[in-house]
Amino acid sequence: MFDIYDLTQKDPKSLQERALKLAEEAGELAQAVLSVTKAPGSEYKAHSLGDVREEAVDAAIVALSILAQASSSREDFDAELDRLMVLKCSKWQEKLSE
Amino acid at 38: K
pLDDT, residue 42, reads: 84
Which of 12, 14, 19, 6 lies closest to 74, judged by CA?
A: 6
Q: Give pLDDT tens digits for 27-72.
A: 999 999 999 998 998 877 889 999 999 999 999 999 999 999 999 9
Find all residues with CB under 8 Å of 69, minimum gap 6, and list them: 8, 15, 18
The pTM score is: 0.91
**CA gap 85, 4 in Å, rounded:** 16
Tell me which residue of 69, 57, 56 sits closest to 16, measured CA to CA. Answer: 69
Contacts of 86 (CB under 8 A, 6+ apart): none
pLDDT digits (tens, 9 = 90+) for 1-20: 579 999 999 999 999 999 99
